[in-house]
Amino acid sequence: MTFSPDWLAPTATVIEAGHRDDGISLAARAAALVPALAGHSLAVGPGSARAMAVAFLAAAEAGVPLSLVRAGQPLEATASLVLDPDLTLRPGQPIDTVGGFQLLLRTSGTTGEPKIVRRAASDLFGRVVSGSATRWLLTYEPTSFAGLQVLFTALGTPGSVLVAAPGAPIGALADLARAESVEAISGTPTFWRALLVALGNRDLPLRLVTLGGETAEQPVLDRLAQRFPGARLRHIYATTEAGAVFAVQDGRAGFPAAWLDGEQAELRITDGVLQVRRARAWIDTGDLVERSDDRVYFAGRRDAMIKIAGTQVVPEEVERYLLAEPGVADVAVRARPNPITGALLEAEIVPDGTVAPDLLLARLRERVLQLPPTSRPRRMAIATSVASAAGKKARGLVG
- Contacts with other proteins, residue ranges (CB under 8 A): 308-309, 336, 338-341, 344, 346, 365, 369, 373-374, 376, 378-379
Nearest to 121 by CA among 27, 178, 167, 57: 57
Minimum CB distance to other proteins, residue 313 (Å) = 11
Task: Give 260 or 383: the residue with its C-beta nearer to other proteins.
Answer: 383
Min dist. Cβ of residue 382 to other proteins (A):
14
In whole angstroms, give the CA distance from residue 66 to residue 222: 40
Nearer to other proteins, 119 or 378 (CB): 378
**Pairwise CA distance, residues 255 & 276, whole Å:** 14
Q: Which is nearer to other proteins, 311 or 388 (CB)?
A: 311
What SS3 class is residue 13? strand
| Alpha carbon distance 256, 267 (integer Å) | 11
Nearer of residues 376 and 393 to other proteins, judged by Cβ? 376
In the complex, least distance from residue 340 CB atom to other proteins, rounded to whole angstroms: 4
Residues 6+ apart with CB under 8 A from 373: 309
Residue 309 three-state SS: coil
Residue 76 CB, shortest distance to other proteins, in Å, is 34
Least distance (Å) from other proteins to the CB of residue 399?
Answer: 9
Angstrom distance (rounded) from CA 235 to CA 241: 19
Q: Which is nearer to other proteins, 87 or 343 (CB)?
A: 343
Side chain identity at residue 86, one-letter code? D
- The secondary structure element, H or E, covering residue 344 is strand 342-351
Least Å from the CB of residue 375 to other proteins:
10
Those residues whose C-beta lies under 8 Å from the C-beta of residue 20, and which sit 6 or more positions away, are 13, 14
Nearer to other proteins, 209 or 380 (CB): 380
Sheet of 267-270, strand order: 255-256, 295-301, 281-292, 273-278, 267-270
When the beta carbons of 137 and 368 are compared against other proteins, the nearer one is 368
In the complex, minimum distance from the CB of residue 379 to other proteins, in angstroms, rounded to a whole number? 5
Quote the least distance from Cβ 369 to other proteins, whole Å: 7
Report how far apart, in Å, the C-alpha atoms of 131 and of each of 20, 21, 157, 357 are.
22, 20, 7, 44
Label residues 160-170 b or e (16+ Cβ within 10 Å = b): bbbbbbbeeeb
For other proteins, the closer CB: 52 or 349: 349
